[in-house]
Structure 1
Amino acid sequence: MSENESTLMGIDQDRVEGWIAANTPLVPPLTWTRLVGGHSNLTYKVQDQRGTLAVVRRPPLGELQPKAHDMNREYRIIKALWETGVPVAEPYGYCEDPAITGIHFYVMGFVHGQPLGSTTDADTWLPVDKRGNARESFADTLAALHLVDPIARGIGDLGRHDDYAGRQLKAWYRSWVTSAADAELDDPRVHSLHDWFAAHRPVDGPVRLVHGDFGVHNCLFDDDGRITAVLDWEVASLGEPMADLAYLLNMWLEPGEESARGGSMTAKPGFGPRAQLIARYSAVVGGIDETKLQYFIALNHWKSACIVHGVYTRYKRGQKSSVGVDMQGFVDAARRSLELAETSVAKLGL
């Protein structure tokens, strides 16, 4: 729905359109449409006088946590990846002047594509004979990302270059430990696995950009099943490529499998097994360290338990309403993730 005739949430329309006219290829006045669903930031689709579509993105209203919703970081990543072979929206401009609309924002091109948020979407938009294309596109896209040298692309200052596994362990163990009392939920496996992971941290490889949430839910697809854009770079960081691949593999379920948090559309016919995904990715990047990959598969399961535990804790603290929420489901998911982590560690035989 167009919001031109009412006040745009978080947008001073006259000032923003003035800035856009001076700093981007767009020609105002613009038609504005709020994009909702899956967007923690305020995101608008706009159309200019020539019919060109674009997207304006700014942080949510209200007080923000330090380093959260960093539009400059997100814009720099997109700009660095543009024309590298990684499918992202074209960067149009970043506004750092809060006098324009009270906070920073950026403008990027609009990318046509279909999101696949559920198995129903897969049934509707991705025929069985196109799902193999999607698998290949996932492997090719992630490999393309991990072949980009962030230093050469000007984003080598996004964060530390060393000890990615150690940084992940520290952050998510702290989350579990500081939440356990309020959650009234602890598990000795969290602590023993943490110690094992810390003692067996793999040697760092060349620093690469890690998306951190690369999956079906953060991609757009064309009618042929190919990825047209990778979305939501908010949690991207410098780190270990195998962490991204492990995350994708843990969500890439095969027929008859179920993850800690339920099923996955990839278990439907046509998507193919994880082995094909790994083989394609490996061929593009020139080979992978399978032991390191297995380590990060295990670590990701452990991290998933910590994430679910954190969400559960917010409900227990009353920070979110638990009315109608399956609270036991969070507990079961955390425990199942820990079981998967133990099984994955055992495969390493260390």
Structure 2
Amino acid sequence: MLPGVAESADNSTRSEARGIARPAVDEWLTAHVDGATAPFDYTLIAAGGSNLTFRVTDAAGHQWALRRPPDGHTLPTAHDMHREYRLMSALAGSAVPVPTCVAYCDDNSVTGAQFYVMSFVDGHILRDRASCAGMTAADADVATDSLVDVQVALHTIDVDAVGLGDLAKRDDYVGRQLKRWRDQVERANIRDLPLMVELHERMTRAKPREVAPPALAHGDYRFDNTIMNDDYKIIAVLDWELCTIGNPVADFAWSMLYWTDPGATMFVLSDPPTLEPIFSRSDEVIRRYKERSGFDLSDLPYYRVFSWWKQACIVEGAYARRLAGATGGMTSSGNVHDIATRVDRMLEHAHELARGVL
């Protein structure tokens, strides 16, 4: 999570720089990144529960971002660094703003895994309500418009024209996703999740016909995976780990999990910025996306169920990694079994939403 980010001091940790093997990484940067001068300082950006992202500062004060998989246990098909690098490279100069890709290391011997380097994009990240301090209702509306407009741009980009036509299959996105996430949970083999299995089977039987054309589906698009300028317009979209070719309506439904309205009983984020009264409510965001994309959203209730189920599967993967000793970008404080409780609550919420839908 969070490639190319800017962060405040209280969101980063220096010292250990786990996942960075010195002096090998220093030597690689000096040889492959133009203008990079040793020694380097590595600051782990302590956000997210998956890939590790570091702010790299050289002797002259130049900054880049370095991204690599978590150190320790990982699940098959996860943490594909080259996929992220390819996606951002392909989108450079498009209507979807991304950090500039600088260099890629495919030699695992350097630091135990492949990694890449990109530009460090400075700006605002709306992670929580505190990050909205000083924003007006007009600012929030600009940010909302930008969030919707960039997602519509992503969902309508010509994948063949940008060289991503072979990124994935173009049909049965939900079927592929249902299989992928159930398989990952079952490979981890941490515990029995009968509700996960039940919902998987019901969603498989009730899959709606895909009416929107296949598109780039980011897989985790939301405010805190974007960077905004001082006008609250998006200047970089981050975290391309889950991106594929898929159903844009399902991808939009996933994004709406993170748009929490006041009074909601189930949150993904612990302190979502959209709880601030300056932001529009979720039905207005849906209206804007529908109007600007032109897509039929009549199956959105199904995709909400699917999204909460998928969220539970992903968090179960984070639980498996924590039990195995890997933390990704998360701090390791707190009771690891609280993660399992979150998974259970997400599955129960999906089950409730499924009434009358599946």
TM norm structure 2: 0.78
2:354 to 325, 335, 341: 341
Could you tell me whether the CA contact under 8 Å between 1:130 and 1:224 is conserved in 2? Answer: yes
Distance of 1:305 and 1:18 partners within structure 2: 40
Q: Which has the bigger relative contact order, CA under 8 A and spacing at least 6?
A: 2
Q: Secondary structure of 1:224's match?
A: coil
**2:46 maps to 1:37:** yes
Hey, what does 2:289 align to over in structure 1?
281
**2:243 maps to 1:233:** no
Question: How do 1:60-139 residues align onto structure 2 when only pairs under 5 Å count?
Answer: 60-62=70-72, 64-122=74-132, 124=133, 126-139=135-148
Over 3 Å counting, the alpha-carbon distance change for 1:311 and 1:105 in structure 2 is: closer
Could you tell me whether the CA contact under 8 Å between 2:32 and 2:103 is conserved in 1? Answer: yes
Hey, what does 2:263 align to over in structure 1?
256
Question: How do 1:162-181 residues align onto structure 2 when only pairs under 5 Å count?
Answer: 162-174=171-183
Hey, what does 1:218 align to over in structure 2?
225
Hey, what does 2:305 align to over in structure 1?
298
Over 3 Å counting, the alpha-carbon distance change for 1:218 and 1:341 in structure 2 is: farther
Q: Secondary structure of 1:114's match?
A: coil
Distance of 2:37 and 2:238 partners within structure 1: 25
Q: Offset of 1:127 from its aligned partner?
A: 3.9
Question: How do 1:182-201 residues align onto structure 2 when only pairs under 5 Å count?
Answer: 182-183=191-192, 186-187=194-195, 191=198, 194-201=201-208
Supply the AA of the counterpart residue of 2:78: A
| Structure 2, unpaired ranges of 5+ | 1-8, 326-333
CA-to-partner distance for each residue in 1:5-28, whole Å, 9 max, x for gaps?
A: x88644455554454444433332
Q: Offset of 1:60 from its aligned partner?
A: 3.0
Please say which structure displays the higher CA radius of gyration: 1
Supply the AA of the counterpart residue of 2:66: V
Q: Offset of 1:37 from its aligned partner?
A: 1.0
Hey, what does 1:156 align to over in structure 2?
165
Supply the AA of the counterpart residue of 2:194: D
Hey, what does 1:52 align to over in structure 2?
62
Supply the AA of the counterpart residue of 1:231: L
Supply the AA of the counterpart residue of 1:245: F
CA-to-partner distance for each residue in 1:162-198, whole Å, 9 max, x for gaps?
A: 2101112223455677899934x534x9626733543
Supply the AA of the counterpart residue of 2:237: V
Distance of 1:134 and 1:155 partners within structure 2: 28
CA-to-partner distance for each residue in 1:198-223, whole Å, 9 max, x for gaps?
A: 34331364332211111123222333
Could you tell me whether the CA contact under 8 Å between 2:261 and 2:274 is conserved in 1? Answer: yes
Moved more, 16-25 or 332-341: 16-25
Could you tell me whether the CA contact under 8 Å between 1:150 and 1:209 is conserved in 2? Answer: yes
Distance of 2:111 and 2:323 partners within structure 1: 33
Supply the AA of the counterpart residue of 1:191: E
Over 3 Å counting, the alpha-carbon distance change for 1:190 and 1:126 in structure 2 is: farther
Q: Secondary structure of 1:195's match?
A: helix
Could you tell me whether the CA contact under 8 Å between 2:143 and 2:234 is conserved in 1? Answer: yes
Over 3 Å counting, the alpha-carbon distance change for 1:326 and 1:175 in structure 2 is: closer
Moved more, 124-133 or 109-118: 124-133
CA-to-partner distance for each residue in 1:37-78, whole Å, 9 max, x for gaps?
A: 125333222234664321122223345443332211111111
Supply the AA of the counterpart residue of 2:274: T
Q: Offset of 1:155 from its aligned partner?
A: 2.3
Distance of 1:218 and 1:176 partners within structure 2: 24
CA-to-partner distance for each residue in 1:290-311, whole Å, 9 max, x for gaps?
A: 2244432332234345556x36
TM norm structure 1: 0.80
Moved more, 77-86 or 198-207: 198-207
Hey, what does 2:254 align to over in structure 1?
247
| Structure 1, unpaired ranges of 5+ | none
Hey, what does 2:276 align to over in structure 1?
268
Distance of 1:27 and 1:314 partners within structure 2: 37
Moved more, 323-332 or 295-304: 323-332
Aligned length: 338
Could you tell me whether the CA contact under 8 Å between 2:63 and 2:119 is conserved in 1? Answer: yes
